[in-house]
Structure 1
Amino acid sequence: MRVAVVLIGRNEGARLVASLASLSGQGLRLVYVDSGSTDDSVAAARAAGAEVVDLDAATPFTAARGRNAGFQALGDDLPDAVQFIDGDCIVVPGWIDRAVATLRAQDSIGLVTGWRSEIHPEASVYNALCNHEWHRPAGDITTCGGDMMVRVAAYQQAGGFDGTVIAAEDDEFCQRLRKAGWRMHRLAEPMTRHDAAMRTFGQWWRRAVRSGHGFAQVGDMHPGYFARERLRVWVYGLLLPGLALVGLVWWPLLVLVLAAYGLSYAKSVQGLRREAMPMPQALHHAVFLTLSKFPNLIGMLTYHARKRRGAAMRIIEYK
């Protein structure tokens, strides 16, 4: 089974160099798609032997657009499968062979993924939050992140990625892949190591805004998807703060609102504890899970405002 790799990136610097190095020596065709980098990313990719696609800045950059451009650059001599990877990730040794073996063994699987982990989870609580987010159960799945090996036939049948989706484009692609009749499977194997490089509250906030935009846009495209996430945002990000303002006049209502947030926080702690997170870490992480509804709301409202105006869906960068 022939495999090509499509990497996407924008100003990843040393992270991209490490990503390319993790794929060297495996006889893989590499295509790097650059979204307007101003550093040496393009030169680094060419030095590593990758084919380079420079996206035209006249059209808004999105990860989905980059992945599609990388696939299109493969031309007519298509491989059997494509490993998509973000330029801030390194591929764990042996992953490509394990993923290929899974696709060979089960023709019904159109997408195989594994476990992504953070390179420096100890660097900040924000990196640690990402590390926890990445580690999802193995087995058949309904969605996954952007690091994935996709059977070319499945990619073509699903129609590739939607270049207008600026966040959760992988979720949106997976929904169409599933509707096309393909299975998706996560191996209980390490796949990639990611460098979120989030050190500040502002970076985390912008990433949460982007997530909210994804909830709204993908949920709009696939009714019912992200429904629980959107409901939580409307309740904890908008409804309860509105009631709290009324509570400034009638204090019992304010007490009830604060109690609702307290209950939400306690449930978050309980959920993290069920996933074997130590209590001190769970207490800390739950603060951000509770707070995230506010930037999520900004992202959702941003999507609806853009849609109403007919404006372009532009990426929301956090680093």
Structure 2
Amino acid sequence: MSINEAQKKFGSVPEIGFVVIGRNEGERLHRCLNSILEQCVALQRSRGIVEHQEIKRKTKSLPMPIIYVDSGSTDGSVEYALTLGCETVQLDSTVPFTAARARNTGFKRLILKNPNVEWVHFVDGDCALQPAWLSKAAAFLSINPRAAIVCGRRREVYPQKTIYNALCDMEWDTPIGESNACGGDFLARRTALESVNAFNPTMIAGEEPEMCFRLRKENWSIWRIDEEMTSHDAAITSFIQFWLRNRRAGYAYAERCSIHATAKQPYCVRELISILFWALVIPTVALLFTAVIPLISVLLIFFYPALMLRLFFRRLKLRNSIRRSLIYAVLIPVGKFPQFIGAANYVFARLNGKKQPIIEYK
């Protein structure tokens, strides 16, 4: 059965609920919540259910349940979500905020208040659903019973605004088909999430791929379909934001490796080896040979432009523009250095028995 054929049978599609997380997202959250409402109405219309305004007037509720989980916003985010009819949860500020904790809290509240919900759509507060996404995603899950998660193409709203936004847009463009992981926006099967206890609430980053790893161990599958899913506003306008985002990524690689890596399944080992090679081994060896054999040091330094050239031509083969290919080729190697610092932060935190606070970049 094709996705289009499945879309004609929405009467049999399980109930869907939404979990949105955010902190001081401002207008981005407004755009996020309203995009969800629009998609809910569109899906309800396809099921032959009355329009949102009539639903709200008769039942005093949203067409589909939406839980907004807030992590200490001071910009009126909670108040705005309430005006739309969303149920809101404000996390206890005495416990460190994490996206994983927020998503788990929202997931539990959603099921508690709406026990009939079988599929859950998670959306980050800086993202907005794209038209037709919800129906396509629902159709895919309906014809793939072992699919735990389906996601699509996440795009940056302003990729031309900064080189860092452009890099994010390229990073989101992952291959179509069965995947190893997803990002923060996706439609999930409730039973699959419950089978692995959803997200690891102690992780400060990388909680989505970590959960996907556990899902795949339980023989669930993760899929990315060829469909526009969300628009994302990274709002990375400075190098320090880029640095912090990569530092957080390095920390997440190290933590996921520490939790799951084995000899048979070297989870995240390849990524960590790459980080160590480019950010530690090459600079250290080059420095050691500076006084003894300077030529070796020079040759080692040339490894970086060689890497950049390889990345540049690889992006060109993927039909990226020259500008985007150049951005990718330069920023990916540069990002190895803050990633190394983040990985080192994790090691030192483990040795000292301390927990790393959340690393925020905006």
TM norm structure 2? 0.86
Aligned counterpart, 1:120: 158
* Aligned with residue 105 of structure 2, among 65, 69, 80: 69
1:284 aligns with 2:322: no
1:213-238 C-alpha deviation (Å, 9 max, x unpaired): 11111111121122221111111111
Overall identity of the aligned pairs, in %: 38
Aligned counterpart, 2:287: 245
Q: Answer with 1 or 2: which has the greater Rg.
A: 2
Q: Which residues of structure 2 form unaligned runs of 5+?
A: 1-13, 41-62
1:86-133 C-alpha deviation (Å, 9 max, x unpaired): 000000122111111111111111111111001110100000000000
Dislocated runs of 4+, deviation >4 Å: none
Aligned counterpart, 1:106: 144
Aligned counterpart, 2:89: 53
* Aligned with residue 247 of structure 2, among 209, 213, 221: 209
Moved more, 1-10 or 222-231: 222-231
Structure 2 Cα separation of the partners of residues 54 and 124 of structure 1: 32
Moved more, 10-19 or 94-103: 94-103
SS in 1 for 2:237: coil
SS in 2 for 1:58: coil
1:253-297 C-alpha deviation (Å, 9 max, x unpaired): 211211222222222112212221123431232111111110001
Structure 1 Cα separation of the partners of residues 269 and 213 of structure 2: 14
Aligned counterpart, 1:88: 126
Aligned counterpart, 1:181: 219
* Aligned with residue 220 of structure 1, among 238, 258, 264: 258
Letter of the 1:32 counterpart? Y
Q: Does the CA-based 8 Å contact 2:35-2:128 persist in structure 1?
A: yes
SS in 2 for 1:303: helix
Letter of the 1:31 counterpart? I
Q: Does the CA-based 8 Å contact 1:33-1:66 persist in structure 2?
A: yes
Letter of the 1:241 counterpart? P
Aligned counterpart, 2:78: 42
Q: Does the CA-based 8 Å contact 2:123-2:184 persist in structure 1?
A: yes
> How far 1:302 sits from its partner (Å)?
0.7
1:15-66 C-alpha deviation (Å, 9 max, x unpaired): 0011001011522210011111121111111112111111111111111111
Structure 2 Cα separation of the partners of residues 90 and 235 of structure 1: 38
Moved more, 244-253 or 119-128: 244-253
* Aligned with residue 188 of structure 2, among 123, 147, 150: 150
Aligned counterpart, 1:310: 353
Letter of the 1:197 counterpart? A
Moved more, 304-313 or 152-161: 304-313
Q: Does the CA-based 8 Å contact 1:112-1:150 persist in structure 2?
A: yes
Letter of the 2:271 counterpart? E
TM norm structure 1? 0.97
> How far 1:137 sits from its partner (Å)?
1.3
SS in 1 for 2:302: helix
Structure 2 Cα separation of the partners of residues 285 and 141 of structure 1: 22
Letter of the 1:95 counterpart? W
Q: Does the CA-based 8 Å contact 2:19-2:110 persist in structure 1?
A: no
Aligned counterpart, 1:192: 230
How many residue pairs end up in the alignment? 319
Moved more, 35-44 or 281-290: 281-290
Q: Which residues of structure 1 form unaligned runs of 5+?
A: none
Structure 1 Cα separation of the partners of residues 318 and 204 of structure 2: 30
> How far 1:78 sits from its partner (Å)?
4.3
Structure 1 Cα separation of the partners of residues 90 and 320 of structure 2: 42
1:137-187 C-alpha deviation (Å, 9 max, x unpaired): 111111111111110000000210001111111000100111111111111
